[in-house]
A and B are shown apart, each in its own frame.
Chain A
Amino acid sequence: MRWLSEEKARRVEKRFGEAVAYYRTEHTAGLKVKKEQLKELLRYLKEREGFKQFVDLTCLDYPERKERFEAVYLLYDPDENERVVVKSSTDGTLPTVTDLWPGAKWAEREAYDMFGVTFEGHENLRRMFLWEGYEHHPLRKDFPLGGYKEVELPSLTELLHGRTDPPSHDFELAHTRLPTLEDLERTEKARLKKKAELVLNWGPLHPGTHGTIWFLFDLEGEKVVQCDVILGQLHRGMEKIAENLHYFQFLPYTDRMDYLSAVCNELAYVETVERLLGVEVPEKARYIRTLFAELQRINSHLLWLGTGALDLGALTVFLYAFREREKIMDILEGNAGYRLTTCFLRIGGVHYDLAEGTLEAVKQFIKTFPESLKEYHALLTRNRIWLRRTKGVGVITKEDVYAYGLTGPVARASGVPYDLRKLQPYAAYDEVEFDVPVGEVGDVYDRYLVRMEEMRQSLRIVEQCVSKLEKLPKDAPYVNKEHPAVMPPREDVYNALEDMVKTFRLVVHGEPAPEGEVYFAGENPRGELGFFVFSKGDGKPYRLRIRSGALYNLSIFPKLIEGRTIADAIALLGSLDPVVGETDR
């Protein structure tokens, strides 16, 4: 994947003259533009230069500057496989780009929520994750890390035990205000246009929402007239946390974003930081990473399959999927030490070498898994009920894919072969063979088929990784410990003074990152998971933007569900497969 070419940049500069400036860093390239020309430039890039896919939009806060906010747009040209960054400074207002890319709708709301930047012309500029009525904008640099305390609620367990003395550690007692039943009724009344309609609160806790998403369906009969999605129940402020931690310390947090594909998240994050720090990764580590990322992809797709089938009533498939998941989790647990939030990769390599017996277990899995895949196909693929529930539901066109910034299997099912493993190979993906499955129609059934095929392809990659890892010598390095920013393995710390000193330095001061910016995205089971790191040369990122595939994929949901029934909603939501840990971050 390339960044904006010199030639194109000159063309743009020629057209816009003074207002646009081309810049290039080691890892990115883009255009800086005055706010007044921003919209015009974006339109030009979309319509003339082919940057038709929306990737991401975010802001940065520089409190010391006069125009303190810097908006950052990220676009992609699918024909030439090229990315561009567009930056523009502002003191608080920006023109909306939702008319160019409807996918920017939620990104703009998020920027408004986190920075207080208003987007003129946005149809529904409300808070994205935090609640209505909250006064602060947490990603601004002057927002205190601990937040502003709100309501104090006593700890229930302590009260039960009759203890009134203050606890020895500071347990978090502050809670935010909770919405009441009256609040709900008020929203309901405000939404209804006709008497025959009713508002169905779907969530925040509902078995069909796959997490804590809150859907509001305005129903006429069973038909959804209008749908709103309320996110933020799982918002933990990952981006704010990242700004206050060293690079290596943020790693366990990435596990907790898309908690179903922890290794893939780690891989995307670690590769980003490695690009920033300039770390080479040894061959063995690259293969171990690929092996586990692909196992994790199968794992994640299995969960999608299980819950998707469960939603459509096929309870047994759920248990069959979990049976195979259990095996993958066993492999992960034996190597990383944890089943879900593995924390297995490290900057510069992996945490441990492969545990004894891993390859045998993986081989056993490779042997048995195709049999299980056949079972899933037999239970679902050609079943008439399954076909009725999935065929023609929620059709996504290619234009939708570009306009909403859809990625991952959702994009591929619509016939857009957007697979970052092929477009910008990382880890060992350029050394293994696999196909990119694409669909034609873009309905739920196609997304189902694409994911099922992806599991087969992942298994192929796993097979190749195993045979490669078998050939590599047992004592081949699994972490590049020579690099100054890479923590040496524990055994070395015990035995060598310089390694101990290096660990001390890294733990206390963090990685010596150069100044600059880097955007890197990994192909996650739920689409493109990108990390945009802005470094000012400290051990911590100045700003770390997480581009979540699941959030953008979910953003098309309200459009697709209009005019369909709530039974379709569940099939559709299952096929978009959001994970709230990642949409909310």
Chain B
Amino acid sequence: MRVKKVFRKDYLTLLESVLFLDFLKGLSVTLKNLLRKPITTQYPKEKLTPPKRFRGAHGHFVWDGTEPPSLKAIEKFMSYEKAKSRCVACYMCQTACPMPTLFRIEAVQTPDGKKKVTRFEMNLLNCLFCGLCVDACPVGCLTMTDIYELASYSRRDEVFSVEQLEERGKDYKARRGDEPERIWPNDEERKRLWGEIKWSG
């Protein structure tokens, strides 16, 4: 084990203390920064695009022909409509969720023996935004979008119905569905903080 004593010089030399060299050093740093460009993103006016993996408000992907094989396999057991939520009411998201009260999911059996999801509500007031529900979803329905402005004036506005979730899922897929899993979209706002990065490839 390599142990390293820290370099400690806890007094000022006479020259330093008479000529205020310590203050001057500090002043030079602040002056240098004064002449630099600010790094601020002017939030409501300018907004950073969240990265692809960002865990924002939830959404539902819909039946649009890009279903994963796991959902195709049970398609015939489900009563669903095109362009509606892919949810199959397997309750996996609810089971994986650390908060038992977050989800409200209900399903019924239609007369022809198929399963129909009648209710899917999420109370985002209880949400940790940990993403365990998305991981648990076996049919590629539940997702987390890049929407992060979720404030509202009433608690019950934070309970989202399946229609709202579908809307968000569709919107998210249209905007960012094909994006590669990059660390962040290379926009001007990030450059202010980061400067020019040499991206490989």
Which residues in A have some Cβ–Cβ distance to B below 8 Å?
155, 157-158, 161, 163, 167-171, 241, 245, 248-253, 255-256, 316, 320, 323, 326-327, 330-331, 333-338, 341, 343, 351-352, 355-358, 360-361, 364, 368, 375, 378-379, 382-384, 387, 391, 417, 419, 422-423, 434-441, 445-446, 449-450, 453, 487, 490, 493-495, 497, 500, 503-504, 507-508
Contact = CB atoms under 8 A, between A and B. Distances in A.
Given A435-B4, A436-B1, A436-B2, 14 more contacts: A169-B123, A171-B155, A249-B96, A252-B98, A323-B193, A333-B184, A337-B54, A361-B194, A378-B26, A379-B29, A436-B4, A495-B68, A504-B138, A507-B96
B1 A417 contact: yes
Interface string B23-63: 10110111001000001000000000011111100000000
A330 B194 contact: yes
A326 B53 CA distance: 17
Contact of B131 (A170, A316, A337, A358): A337
Q: Which 4 A-B pairs have the closest CB atoms?
A: A334-B183, A252-B130, A494-B68, A435-B4
Contacts of B134: 490
A368 B17 CA distance: 31
B30 to A, nearest CB: 6
Contact of A334 (B8, B53, B96): B53
Contact of A384 (B17, B69, B96, B130): B17
Given A161-B153, A337-B55, A356-B182, A382 B98 contact: no
B113 interface: no
Contacts of B95: 507-508
Contacts of A330: 183-184, 190, 193-194
Contacts of B50: 333
A364 B195 contact: yes
Contacts of B125: 169, 171
Contacts of A441: 8
Contacts of B1: 417, 419, 422-423, 436
Given A355-B51, A437-B6, A508-B95, A343 B195 contact: no
15 contacts: A161-B154, A169-B126, A327-B193, A334-B182, A337-B54, A337-B55, A343-B131, A357-B199, A364-B198, A378-B26, A379-B25, A436-B1, A493-B138, A503-B136, A504-B92
A256 B7 CA distance: 35
Nearest to B102: A169
Interface in B68-125: 68-71, 92, 95-98, 101, 104, 121, 123, 125
A169 B9 CA distance: 61
Nearest to A383: B22
B4 A453 contact: yes
B140 interface: yes
Contacts of B149: none
B120 to A, nearest CB: 13
Contacts of B28: 378
Contacts of B17: 384
Contacts of A253: 98, 128
Given A337-B55, A357-B183, A453 B131 contact: no
Contact of B198 (A360, A417, A490): A360
A503 B131 CA distance: 15
Interface string B150-178: 00011110010000000000000000000
B12 to A, nearest CB: 6
Which residue among B4, B121, B139 has the maximum number of chain A CB atoms within 10 Å of its CB? B4
A494 B70 contact: yes
Which residue among A253, A343, A446 has the maximum number of chain B CB atoms within 10 Å of its CB? A343
Contacts of A327: 193-194
B92 A439 contact: no
Contacts of B198: 360, 364
B10 A387 contact: yes
Given A331-B183, A357-B199, A445 B98 contact: no
Contacts of B123: 169
Contacts of A450: 6
B16 A382 contact: yes
B5 A245 contact: no
Contacts of B121: 168-169
Contacts of A360: 197-200
B153 A157 contact: yes
B65 interface: no
B25 A382 contact: yes
Nearest to A374: B29
A359 B175 CA distance: 26
Contacts of B200: 360
Nearest to A435: B4
A251 B130 CA distance: 9
A375 B30 CA distance: 9
B12 A356 contact: no
Which residue among A155, A171, A368, A375 has the maximum number of chain B CB atoms within 10 Å of its CB? A171
A575 to B, nearest CB: 14
Contact of B184 (A170, A334, A446, A500): A334
Nearest to B201: A356
B101 to A, nearest CB: 6
A157 to B, nearest CB: 5
Contacts of A331: 183
A351 B29 CA distance: 41
Contacts of A487: 135
Given A171-B125, A335-B183, A316 B30 contact: yes
A157 B154 contact: yes
Contacts of B97: 249
A302 to B, nearest CB: 14
Given A334-B183, A356-B182, A158 B155 contact: yes
Contacts of A341: 128-130
B24 to A, nearest CB: 10
B159 A384 contact: no
B8 A440 contact: yes
A22 to B, nearest CB: 29
Contacts of A449: 6-8
B118 to A, nearest CB: 15
A167 B156 contact: yes
A582 to B, nearest CB: 17
B54 to A, nearest CB: 5
Contacts of A507: 92, 95-96, 136
